[in-house]
Chain A
Amino acid sequence: MSATAFMPTVTTGTVERQANQAGRKPGRRTDEVIRASILSEGIYELVIRDPYVACTVQPAQFVNLYPADARMALPRPFGVAKVDDDDVTLIYQIVGAGTAEFSLLQAGDVIDVLGPLGKPFDTSKPANYVLVGGGLGVPPLLYAAQKLSERNDGTQVTSVFGYRDARFADDLVAPFADKTHSIVNAEGNVVDLLNDIEDELSSADHPPVILSCGPTPMMKAVAAWASKRDIPAQLSLEARMGCGYGACVACVVDTPSGRLKVCKDGPVFTIEELGWEA
């Protein structure tokens, strides 16, 4: 079924005003697709027009996208990769029927959206933010780089990205990062890269703070690397979600404080919260 099977009730700027008036967040709504393209082999970029998300989303927050095919009842969560005015960029890979449907979208189609959802990275202090991402954990860090680059408090941005094959995000992060580093699977992993640039991190104007997103084994390795060096790190976890906004309690992670919801208590957690110290 095509996404155009929905009656197009395209979001306008009034959504934000309505939300503010009611003191509540807007529910699921229908957005217009502005652009849909292939970024690299198997990696897709989707730009939707959503003024509410555009003006409220913070790095590591995500949006739910809903397949038009009603047989797929659950939303698919995607971290926001970029915001330009009212337009929100999402980057994803086909992993199942839902993402396969999304890959068929074209400009002018519509898609149902909920969000932004989740707890963002804490970037309140000036620092040398080291963005450590792997695979499809990279896109949320692109948005972190974009937001951090807008600051005038001495904040620096260093990207450390690991790819399975194609370096699909290096060009996207370059305008927003002071230094960029990347590696593909065959050459090693992001911890190898972190080892390579350890001296560079300690010589920056500000001490490093790691913001990381990617597969769980990578994040555990990054957490171990950071905690050995007493470098604070915030990890944005991936999980199989139900609702994405905290109601169903499906996407839990075991922590010293009990089972916490990745979608609502996270997706961002510190190493200490997760008990992942080395």
Chain B
Amino acid sequence: MNVLEPHEWRHKTIVAGTEWKNPVGTASGTFQLDACGDYYDVSQMGAICTKGVSPVPWEGNPSPRTAEGPSSMVNAVGLQNPGVDHYLVDELPRLKKLGAMVITNVAGHSDEDYAQVVEKLADSEADMLEINVSCPNVSHGGMSVGTDPVVLSRLIKHLRTLTDKPMIVKLSPNVTDIVQIAHAAVDAGADALSLINTLVGMRIDINTGKPIIANRTGGVSGPAIFPIALSFVWRVRQAIPDIPIIGIGGIDSGEKALEYLYAGANAVEVGAAALVDPTAPMRVARELDDLLDSRPELAAKLAKGQTW
């Protein structure tokens, strides 16, 4: 029951021209090959979305980096990563050798940062790029890009000229009108959208009166954000019928993944649930695969990459 048996996938899905074994991927920031690969065969996931990759190594934020909220976690890791050059010689080749479909999450503090990473990935084995314009835990770049449609549009237009790879733009929920932001990304050349990134939140230690997290605020994820994230996917789908959408937020079961598909997502990514059980992404993928057996119309849409 605890070690997952091999599974024959029945419901592949097409996202922006890429074929996934199933509609379930890992969410950025919750997957580390050296940790998660101990628990399941990562090549069997629909896609592996890597942690944010920056042009140079980032040491991230000081500790403590996490706190617990009601049915949620608050984190401010700050995109600690060894940089794109290390990623290209170490992590990406290992993921591709395993046979995984790889979405490389691209992080930056400036337009030039993003451009450097995208340029270096343009001829790499990465299958898709996910532009992280929505991390709430970096002081420059991240969410400050993804909350301004003009700034976002300028960035995506520039990145579009640098790569032919399918480019996903990951949206922030911390905006007044996500539909406006989504339109800006799509009009600038995004091939797909993923949403949502974490919501800004915090916890305070009542013994000290000070924030628990060293960064003071962090990103909220986990089951608590599920209904919120689902509504964001639904709203963007209503406004933009023909763009692939990857739904993210609070998915810890096949049933919740199915709700995202009905809301208009073409695929989903599992994040915080994997921090509670490392096998959760694979378990969700299997549960959804089984559920789709009784939803032939939905399964056919996924297989054709149709949107809703």
Q: Spell out A's residues near B (CB within 8 Å).
A: 9, 11, 15, 18-19, 21-22, 24-29, 66, 70-75, 114, 239-243, 245-254, 258-259, 264
| Docked pose: A26 CA to B31 CA in angstroms | 17
Interface string of B276-292 (1 = CB under 8 A from A): 11111001000000000
Q: Contacting A259 at CB < 8 Å: which of B30, B60, B68, B277?
A: B60
The 26 listed contacts between A and B (C-beta, < 8 Å) are A19-B2, A19-B3, A24-B4, A24-B38, A27-B279, A27-B280, A28-B277, A66-B276, A74-B68, A74-B276, A114-B277, A242-B65, A242-B75, A242-B275, A243-B35, A243-B274, A245-B278, A246-B35, A247-B278, A248-B29, A248-B30, A248-B77, A249-B60, A250-B75, A250-B77, A264-B35
Check if B66 is an interface residue, CB within 8 A of chain A.
Answer: yes
CB of A252 within 8 A of CB of B63, answer yes
Is the CB of B124 closer than 8 A to any CB of chain A? no
Q: Judge whether B3 and A246 touch: CB under 8 Å.
A: no
Partner of B65, one of A9, A28, A249: A249
Distance from A223 Cβ to chain B, minimum over Cβ atoms (Å):
18
Q: How far is the CB of A17 from chain B (nearest CB, A)?
A: 9
Q: Which residues of B contact A (CB under 8 A)?
A: 1-5, 29-32, 34-36, 38-41, 51, 57, 59-60, 62-73, 75, 77, 80, 212, 222-224, 272, 274-280, 283
The answer to whether A243 and B278 touch (CB under 8 A), given A71-B70, A73-B73, is: yes
Q: Are B279 and A28 in contact (CB under 8 A)?
A: yes
**A248 x B75 contact (CB < 8 A):** yes
- Give the most central of A239, A247, A264: most B CB within 10 Å: A247
Q: Report the bound CA distance from A23 to B57 in whole Å.
A: 32
The answer to whether A252 and B278 touch across the interface, beta carbons within 8 angstroms, is no
Task: Give the chain A neighbours of B224 by CB distance below 8 A.
Answer: 73
List chain B residues, Cβ under 8 A from A259.
59-60, 80
- Cα(A255)–Cα(B69), bound, Å: 29
**Residues in B neighbouring A66, C-beta threshold 8 A:** 276
A26-B2 in contact given A242-B275, A247-B278 (Cβ < 8 Å): yes
A-B contact count (CB 8 A): 133
The docked-state distance in angstroms from the alpha carbon of A61 to that of B212 is: 26
The answer to whether B68 and A15 touch across the interface, beta carbons within 8 angstroms, is no
Q: Known: A15-B3, A27-B2. Is A248-B34 also a contact (CB below 8 A)?
A: no
B207, chain A: closest CB distance, angstroms: 11
With contact pairs A114-B277, A246-B32 given, residues A25 and B38 touching in the complex (Cβ less than 8 Å): yes
- Give the docked Cα–Cα distance between A258 and B65 (Å): 16
The answer to whether residues A247 and B75 also contact, given A27-B279, A242-B66 and a CB cut-off of 8 A, is no
List 10 A-B pairs, minimum CB-CB distance, nearest first: A246-B35, A27-B279, A26-B2, A243-B275, A28-B277, A250-B66, A18-B3, A250-B65, A242-B66, A29-B2
A251 to chain B, nearest CB (A): 7
A7 to B41 Cα, complex, angstroms = 27
A239 to chain B, nearest CB (A): 7
Residue of A nearest to B34 (CB): A246
- Within the complex, the shortest CB–CB distance from B74 to chain A, in Å, comes to 10
Contact A251 B35 (CB under 8 A): no
**Inter-chain contact A247/B2, CB cutoff 8 Å:** no
Query: Are B278 and A114 in contact, CB atoms less than 8 angstroms apart?
Result: yes
Q: How far is the CB of A23 from the nearest CB of chain B, in Å?
A: 9
- Min Cβ gap B197→A in Å is 15
Q: For A19, list chain B residues within 8 Å (CB).
A: 2-3
Complex Cα distance A123/B2, Å?
30
Residue of A19, A72, A248 ringed by the most chain B CB atoms within 10 A? A248
CB distance from B278 to the nearest CB of A (A): 6
Q: How far is the CB of A238 from chain B (nearest CB, A)?
A: 12
Cα–Cα, bound, A11→B35 (Å): 23
Q: With A73-B223, A240-B63 given, is the CB distance from A249 to B32 under 8 Å? A: yes
A249–B77 CB distance below 8 A: yes
Residue of A nearest to B275 (CB): A243
CB atoms of B63 and A73 under 8 A apart: no
- B77 / chain A contacts, CB cutoff of 8 Å: 248-250
Q: In the complex the two chains form, what is the Cα distance from A259 to B64 in whole Å? A: 12
Residues of A within 8 A of B31 (CB): 247
Q: Are A24 and B39 touching (Cβ within 8 A)?
A: yes
Contact B71 A70 (CB under 8 A): yes
Q: Is the pair A251, B276 in contact by a Cβ cutoff of 8 Å?
A: no
Bound form: Cα–Cα A66–B252 in Å: 15
Residue of A9, A74, A114, A251 with most chain B CB atoms under a 10 A cut-off:
A74
